[in-house]
Structure 1
């Protein structure tokens, strides 16, 4: 990435943050101790930005220098999940670790070879939707067949277990922290 390209992005960010706050050039210039004409030249690319100016502008805009100059790319947007398999279940993590919403989103593929487990109980709620195949949900004393396009949500304080029914099944699931600990590989509990 060239320096001119990076500076162009930084200039767009400065102007975008200023406009988002409904500040005029005069208002931002006063907050970062620059003249309005200097700030205008920075925003339009007619003047190079010094590190000292960037620090003052970032502070005035209520952001960090790192956020202002962070390179553009797709790694902060695109998640490239790698499959993890364990006993008839394959997981693709579709959210980043420690997701800001406090949930973990995963795609799961379960087969009839999935290792038999006992139903699990843990605090929280679980949600999933079936993408393909049929999922047999053991929920307390009930057995529920969940078909493609259907979604379920239930309290995980009820003993529960998922199995593939008549062939492999794929589902999209959202776990809260407790569900992640109980169901995903690498955590202290076995897969449920």
Structure 2
């Protein structure tokens, strides 16, 4: 793809984002015009690709739409959509991280885990760290050791708890697959265990 082709493609994306943001707010061209001081006919030509957008118009449109120029001109790249999780394995636990850098996701990490009986859990193997953890069981039955309690969490059920309570998750009666989410503190603690 030539530079000119990529510039045209980006201009089309910018136009779609402007129209999409305007429509998402339920605004007519006249409503947006009143907010950004660009005539409705010029806005229409910008959205349809019959007029180029100059920097001054882009600044006014971003401000009126409550966004940034960076957001409007951010290139489209499928690489930022598809996540190809890498399998991490240790005795009794296989983990696939399903989110990108936790800092980009409000400090949360999402992972799929497959737990088998070989994983050391229960009294004597409980962890404590700042944060919260949430998980849902995709298949099998998980056993959640939470302080002195032992809770069975079945397929279709979920659990959420403070990770300041001594805890561990194991498999009950066969392998279990869970989808889990925890904050940055929990990510650090799980990476160290």
Question: Which TM class, normalised by the smaller chain length?
Answer: 0.7 to 0.9
Residue of structure 2 equivalent to 1:8: 12
Residues 181 and 27 (structure 1 numbering): CA distance in 2 closer, same or farther, change over 3 Å? Answer: same
Q: Which range moves more in the overlay, 13-22 or 40-49? A: 13-22
Residue of structure 1 equivalent to 2:163: 156
1:151-190 alignment runs, 5 A limit? 151-183=158-190, 185=191, 189-190=192-193
- CA apart distance, 1:76: 4.1
Q: Tell me the TM-score normalized by structure 2.
A: 0.75
Aligned-partner Cα distance in 2 for 1:165–1:128: 15
**CA RMSD between the two structures:** 3.0
Instruction: Say whether 1:108 aligns with 2:113.
Output: yes
Aligned-partner Cα distance in 2 for 1:148–1:60: 47
Q: Secondary structure at the match of 1:81?
A: coil
Residue of structure 2 equivalent to 1:133: 140
Aligned-partner Cα distance in 2 for 1:56–1:111: 57
Aligned with residue 70 of structure 2, among 66, 69, 72: 66
Q: Tell me the TM-score normalized by structure 1.
A: 0.75
More helix by share: 2
Unaligned 5+ runs, structure 1: none
Aligned-partner Cα distance in 1 for 2:149–2:63: 58
1:116-127 alignment runs, 5 A limit? 118-127=125-134
Residue of structure 1 equivalent to 2:153: 146
- CA apart distance, 1:91: 1.5
Residues 42 and 118 (structure 1 numbering): CA distance in 2 closer, same or farther, change over 3 Å? Answer: same
- Runs ≥4 in structure 1, deviation > 6 angstroms? none
Q: Deviations over 1:126-175 (max 9, x none)?
A: 32222223323323233333332332333333322222334332111121
Q: Deviations over 1:98-150 (max 9, x none)?
A: 25454322111122333566211233433222222332332323333333233
Aligned-partner Cα distance in 1 for 2:127–2:74: 43
Instruction: Say whether 1:98 aligns with 2:98.
Output: no
Residue of structure 2 equivalent to 1:48: 52
Q: Secondary structure at the match of 1:108?
A: strand
